[in-house]
Structure 1
Amino acid sequence: MRLTVISIAAAFAATTALANPVAPDDVVFGEYGEVEASLTGVPGDAANGAKIMYNRGLGNCIACHEVTALKDQPFHGEVGPTLDGTGDVRTEAELRGIVINAKMTFEGSVMPAFYRTSGFTRPGDGYTGKAAKMPIAPILSAQEIEDVVAYLMTLKD
């Protein structure tokens, strides 16, 4: 009986965390752009993070970064640094901050902010050439950010 109650409480806590992710404008960045707290309170799924890395409709990280572990996927870019070994040289908090908004860590970065919804100069609405209607949705959801971070942490030398 007690184990059942604990299991139900844990499931409820996980569901509540997913139902109430940190909103993009409420993300707290550290001095160097790191984000210590999970956006969802739920561990990321590295397998799903890998899919987001090469999915052209989501993160499409390999369009700019080379990832040897994803060599079966076409069109690895050379604009950004290779992500091989990233899990050895960056902390989870640093990676979370970079994926959320790389400009908080690297001021002149051309990497898009994957979890930002405000503060843009004039975002366009897809391919229409018109200004976007507010509010703008983030490129990735809070859980997708956590999934990408979980995958990046697996990239070790």
Structure 2
Amino acid sequence: MARASVHIAALIAASLAFAGVARADDLAPYTIVGDGIPTSLTGSPGDAARGHALVLARTTTCILCHSGPFPETRFQGDLAPDLAGAGNRWTVSQLRLRLVDASQFNPETIMPSYYRNDGLVRVGRSFAGKPILSAAEIEDIVAYLATLRD
């Protein structure tokens, strides 16, 4: 199992090498309250349609590990929870923290911390000090995932 995790982490890292990485100065402050981040990173709700496109984009890597109600998308992942019903299982606040820094829930997770720029390991030089996704992209994905209800 450990070997599979290393290979998966390498696959994710390679996929992120092609993603559009946000600039370091785009990192907005946030506060973790309990098991979530209750306040939008941008100060406003995201756009669910843009979030849907981001979840399905291979560059964000969501679909590499997760599956969901996406009949139009082939080769969905099976390593992480199915995203169907994500809006029922997690609050917007919890979804936001899972995207910002999944290691807050599981320090051993292979899910990238999409909105961190410090304390990371094995980060390529061109990605050092930069979050993977912008605050707006995080909010768009949160808005979309919140719509996924059973």
What TM-score, normalized to structure 2?
Answer: 0.77
Matched residues in 1 for 2:57 and 2:78: separation? 17
Structure 2, unaligned runs of 5 or more: 1-24
Pick the structure with greater CA Rg: 1
Percent identity (aligned): 38
1:154 aligns with 2:118: no
Match of 1:28 in 2: 31
Partner of 1:48: helix, strand, or coil?
helix
Change beyond 3 A, Cα 1:116–1:87 = same
Alignment of 1:5-154 (within 5 A): 23=27, 26-32=29-35, 34-57=36-59, 59-68=60-69, 70-124=70-124, 132=125, 135-154=128-147
Q: Deviations over 1:86-135 (max 9, x none)?
A: 101210000000011111122221100111111123412xxxxxxx1575
Contact 1:52 1:60 in 2 (8 A): no
Tell me which moved more, 147-156 or 133-142. 133-142
Structure with the bigger RCO (C-alpha within 8 Å, sep 6+) is 2
Cα distance in 2 for partners of 1:145, 1:133 equals 21
Q: Which TM-score applies when normalising by structure 1?
A: 0.73
